[in-house]
Amino acid sequence: MEPLVDDIGSFPLPDEVDRETYNKAYQLARAAMTNGREVSGNKFIRENFYDVTINSFRLKIGTGLDVVNTPWHYDGVRQVSDAVHKAMEKGTFVVDEKDAFLPEVRVVEAEAKRLSEEFGKKIALRACMFGPMELYLQEMGTVAYRDVLDGFAETIRRFAKNSIVNTKYVKTEVISVDEPSFGFMNIAAEKDVLREVLEKALDFQGIVRQIHLHSASMMPDVLDVGNIDVVSFEYGASPKNIESVSRKMLEDADKQIRVGVSRTDIGSIMAELNDKGIPKPTTEQLVESKEVIKKRYLAAKQKYGDRMTFTGPDCGVGGWPSQEAAQLLLKRTVDAIKKP
């Protein structure tokens, strides 16, 4: 069985919507949804959040991805921490069940029938969110307080569980918890504590549970977490990552792997092009060739065999200069993996 191609989530805003306006619309949408109000009828929210989300999602589906992440335009930490701060006002680090949701998932669910009919298939959805350790580092720092860690873990579990949708038109196939700092900057806690925190955050069933890391240096610790099905790391921009994880390690832990095979580190890509005398690259120049991506994919597939069940871009593309460039990256990645 060939690996499924998914994406990590973030995507550029359309040119006509500025960041400040989108953020305001997002926050208003979250507040309205929390209070059980319909948001699609509000003109400001509709134009600057609701339609933006659906149009971006439509672009991503059109690239041929097998599993499509909800478009992630809002700040990744604030997706969760906005609700955490509300809970903290009540003296707890655990977000109420009714507040623990991603507005993007709700919008996709509401529009799933139209999207399914448009593309002629049931929508295979992926939802991702920053994990309890990343949230803790951003909110608290590196000194460990177990009660806070446990509270954040339960909060992430609730966000994840509430992102699982299964209707006639859309089904959440993957939930991914992203821990980009793990391996670079770590909480000063025993390994068993961090393992238990991740176990708690991923304590839900009936779906593929991924964890996405930027560094593979801490992968042995992650492989010990029972509630993880698929471990994920970047390979395109960080080729040494693949040296840290062997197929035997995956087999011994009974885990599968997702390997990122196309570069998304847009700052470095643009700097390299500038060094080559291309200060204003075209969309075509920003994206790696199909041949480069395919070579990387085949190397990873040869190493991991049927343990490699997912692949796609390294990370999100929210920092890319345009939706056109981001869409080309996704499409070329799909083509490199799926076409001769």
Low-confidence ranges of the chain (pLDDT < 50): none
Residue 91, CA distances (Å) to 127, 137, 147, 167, 281 in order: 28, 19, 12, 36, 50
**Looking at the DSSP assignment, which residues form a beta bridge with residue 174?**
126, 208
**Assigned token pair, 141:** 């720092």
CB 101, CB 165: distance < 8 Å: no
Domains (ranges, CATH) in the chain? 4-335 (3.20.20.210)
Distance separating alpha carbons of residues 227 and 204, to the nearest angstrom: 8
DSSP state, residue 338: H
**Amino acid, single-letter form, for residue 313:** P
Task: Give the strand order in the sheet containing 123-130.
Answer: 4-5, 308-313, 256-262, 230-234, 208-213, 170-178, 123-130, 68-69
CB 246, CB 220: distance < 8 Å: no
**Looking at the DSSP assignment, which residues form a beta bridge with residue 130?**
178
**Predicted pLDDT of residue 1:** 80
pLDDT digits (tens, 9 = 90+) for 124-161: 999 999 999 999 999 999 999 999 999 999 999 999 99
CB atoms within 10 A of CB 223: 17
Report which of 68, 71, 59 is spatially closest to residue 11, judged by C-alpha positions.
71
**Predicted pLDDT of residue 76:** 92
CB atoms within 10 A of CB 234: 26
Q: Say what percent of the chain tops pLDDT 70.
A: 100
Separation of CA 189 from chain center: 25
DSSP H or E run through 291:
helix 290-304
pTM of the entire structure?
A: 0.96
**Assigned token pair, 275:** 């060094």
pLDDT digits (tens, 9 = 90+) for 15-66: 999 999 999 999 999 999 999 999 999 999 999 999 999 999 999 999 999 9
**Amino acid, single-letter form, for residue 335:** D
